[in-house]
Amino acid sequence: MSFTDRVFCGELTPDDAGRHVLLAGWVDAFRDHGGLLFVHLRDRSGIIQIVFSPEVAGTDLCRKAASLRSEYCIAVRGVVKKRIAGTENPHIETGSIEVMVTDLNVLSESDALPFPISEKAMVAGASSAGADSVSEDLRLQYRYLDLRRPSMQENLRARHRIFRCVREFLDSRGFVEIETPALTASTPEGARDYLVPSRLHPQTFYALPQSPQLFKQLLMVAGIERYFQLARCFRDEDLRPNRQPEFTQLDIEASFIDEEFIYELVEELTARMFAIGGITLQRPFPRLTWNEAIDTTGSDRPDLRFDLRFVDVTDVFTQTNYSIFKQILQRGGCIKGLNVKGQSERLSKNVLQNEYAKEIAPSFGAKGMTWMRAEHGRLESNIVQFFSARELDELRKRFDVADGDVLIMIADPSYAVVTSALGQLRLHLANRLGLIPADTFCPVWITEFPLFEPTEDGGITSSHHPFTAPDRTDFDPKNIEELLKLRSRAYDLVINGEELGGGSIRINSRELQRKIFTALGLSEEEIKDRFGFFLRAFDFGPPPHGGLALGMDRTVSMILQTPSIREVIAFPKNRSAACPLTGAPSAVKREQLAELGLLNLGGQAVLPGTAQKEDRVDRISWLSRIGIAPEERQLMEATLNRAEELASLAEEKAGEEDPVYGVAPVANRTRPGTEARRSPLSESGQLLRGAPAVKGNYYKTATILE
């Protein structure tokens, strides 16, 4: 069958009335009105109603059409006509016209569907089907069917338009799109690498790129000056709801620039991308230093769609008689709070004391929470009597208190605990009280990040990556205290509490780069092995340069306001980093491992857990992840010996005797009697002593939400 004259369903208009057309697509839905059959035909452009009428199509064709089912792939010829007034369908773009079919060709049939695909009701007022209630893993298992849904196709088309916008804009600014290698050497960039074994170089590995970081900097050394790439990146990270092991990022790098160049370029690009989704971003984007963001919102990814900024009141209580605050301040602590304006009626004393102070705040890491409500010109709480009139007056001034306001304060010897707990309370309250306005987007640049972060072993690590330029170069790479005070020339773009991307001005001095490596504790040999080729390039006049990477999956998801980034990726992995469609990751044949030299990798080196498997008791301990004390080993040996004897006896008797069956009456074997009673350990509290959190008399677990 020739499709040369095919017309797309969604492109037909009332002006085409009387036109003879050839259409092809899938049966989206159908209604049989006793000889008159109505079918929704769907293709990539949209849906149109086609009609099989005995007067136009003939009895035989109508009988053939009656066998059609959902998702049959068909081609039809027919005549476009306007619908009778009152029969139009507002659910579809072509709802004012239909096609009277004169010929039908069933191109292929479909099995029964694992879930509904149709999203459009055939008549006004009818409910439409959809896959919204279908489990995500089932949708991913049949992703090729899931992608037939118009909403999913529109997501992918919008993603295409956004990517096209990126290419056109950066091309207009003189950037060149260049692909960098997908098989490269493993370098430390913060996450685990995905490793690819080499057959031609046995027992050696490539790494899939976490980002094109080194290569894009080398392109700057090469004089490209302005580079970009919509790069595929891979990170073997711990699982999170909105994270993928492989993802797409927009990589940008330019030479002879400073931070202002990046801010202007990325703000213009971001505004254009969001405009595709009908969203206007106000420019210029505001800027907050990392210190300001942490100090006022408790996060380096602040959501600025609502207020609730922190107020530091540490100095208010320097002479306080309230013992808890006094002890905290004597230990060098701090006190911060926020004013929840006009929410006193919704935050009752019971809610504040029994929910927030006793449960919610401790779950965020705070050891306690102080609250006060403003009523009749006074601050009221269960501890207000412990504060002086001067302290209460100062609180009213600092927080600009009016009747109906609620003050919430966190005090702790640790500044990090105060800001982290109060930051999480800020978000919790905003969500609970509906303080976040819908369809609002508030971008912000976060700048001046710490260059280094402390590690548990007393060392330091890079906050971003080791190629980020510091704010000054006159530092001692051996002085940990000084290193932790350094700020970087890094910047993150944050919108609505989500980090969309980040970057920095890079180091272009070999000496400074070596200084950073030394601060990170890398030896000369490690530097040479990991970065020798990179540092060698710095001997040949590297220009000052910098760049940024935007997570495009996350950006597109935010623009389209989808609940997950998986809704804007054609074939994503699920939340467990697995692919229900292909079964990846999967085991491979032993022959493949042998061909790659992986069966005895490392020669005689012992793999983790191997030594424990050699001894029976240690093997059981290793497999069960249960430690066995020395005094328990003899009993465990005897138990295993007895188990082996019974297993051997069962094997000998197999087939010789009939199995023995026993019937016992059903009874409660957990405790004597039938009267329910609480355990004494529960009554004393000992039963839940080891629980991380308790609510009422129950063990409390963390809630996992996406």
Residues 488-519: tens digit of each pLDDT = 999 999 999 999 999 999 999 989 998 999 99
pLDDT of residue 99: 97
Domain range annotation of the chain: 9-108, 153-282+552-568, 306-436, 444-544
- What letter represents residue 60's amino acid? D
Helices H / strands E in the chain, number of each: 22, 24
pLDDT of residue 680: 77
Give the H or E element holding residue 146. Answer: helix 143-146
Residues 613-645: tens digit of each pLDDT = 457 787 777 667 677 888 888 888 899 889 888
The yes or no reply on domain 153-282+552-568 and CATH 3.30.930.10 is yes
pLDDT of residue 614: 59
CATH number of 306-436: 3.30.1360.30
pLDDT of residue 664: 67
In sequence order, the 6+-apart residues with CB closer than 8 A to the CB of 143 are 570, 571, 581
In sequence order, the 6+-apart residues with CB closer than 8 A to the CB of 575 are 136, 239, 241, 706
Structure tokens at 527: 């530097």
Side-chain half-sphere CA neighbours of 695 within 13 A: 12
Specify burial of residue 198 (Cβ count, 10 A radius: 0-12, 13-18, 19+): middle
Which three-class secondary structure state does DSSP give residue 382? coil
For residue 310, the cross-strand partners are none
Structure tokens at 42: 């769907």
Which residues in the chain land under pLDDT 70?
Answer: 124-131, 188-190, 601-614, 622-623, 625, 654-674, 683, 685, 690, 692, 696-697, 701-706
pLDDT of residue 705: 44
CATH number of 9-108: 2.40.50.140
What's the full length of the chain, in residues? Answer: 706
Specify burial of residue 586 (Cβ count, 10 A radius: 0-12, 13-18, 19+): exposed
In sequence order, the 6+-apart residues with CB closer than 8 A to the CB of 3 are 22, 24, 75
In sequence order, the 6+-apart residues with CB closer than 8 A to the CB of 451 are 462, 463, 468, 470, 471, 483, 486, 487, 488
